[in-house]
Amino acid sequence: MRKLSGKTYWLVGASEGLGRALAEKLSKAGVSLVLSARNADSLQALADGLPGDARIVTCDVSDRASVVAAAEQVGEVDGLVFLAGVYWPFPAQDWDAEQTEAMFDVNLTGAARVLGQVVPKMVARKSGHIVITGSLSGYRGLPGAIGYASSKAGLMHLAESMHCDLRGSGVDVQLAVPGFIRTRLTDKNNFTMPFLMEPDQAADEMMTLMRSNSFQRAFPKLFSLVFRGGNFLPDWAYYRIFGGK
């Protein structure tokens, strides 16, 4: 079991939702935190309410200069959890170019910007812990998920590639793959969300993953089996079940 107490973790995307809930649990577990997001007021309110040591560093992951400046201010950390994300639901027939690009730029390229400032330093000192937050929607293409599911699929692939390369290096990589979590992002959905989790429940799953030696944890477990099982279906069957109209 991984020991978290006494370590310092940088949470990127910590101001609300899952990031906020995870910050609260990590702080209670004795972790010193560096909290990042774009909204300084939300971050400060969170930091002020935590039981343990926490400081804030504002960061816009869609802006490389902002990421570089934030990483310099953060300094050396034991771990990084990337939780930042944006989401708008729409199908390819209603393609919104600006929103699609924003989802890729934050969810995938934003992660690459942050990782580019952190991973080389961890590799150099042969020590570190990287946690990437994917999505069940990233396992295979879904209707109405242009931009979001694709960006999460790329992010999950990135985590898998990092895990391949860094095994045995002293730098551990983990991938959290949640389903629906009640946040301002999922509030945009106009459909029933099966197995909808509260942020606190999802944060418990994240903590279980982070304390373990496992690479990946998909949750809720029963719901995740539907998506993971979809990878084994032939195209004709998959798109008949999941392909919408």
Closest CA to 26 of 6, 42, 40: 6
- Cα dihedral value 16, 21, 25, 30, nearest 10: 0
116, 118, 128 from 124: Cα distances, Å: 13, 10, 10
Going by their DSSP bridges, the two strands 79-82 and 216-219 should be labelled as unpaired
Give 180's DSSP letter.
-
CA distance 30 to 6: 6
What lies within 8 Å, CB to CB, of 163 at 6+ separation is: 173, 175, 215
Tokens in use for 109?
Answer: 């390229």
Tokens in use for 69?
Answer: 């400046």
Candidates 9, 139, 148, 239; catalytic one: 148
Tokens in use for 29?
Answer: 């577990």
Is 148 considered catalytic here? yes
> Tokens 């979809």 label which residue?
230
- Cα dihedral value 85, 88, 92, 96, nearest 10: -100
Catalytic sites, residue numbers: 148
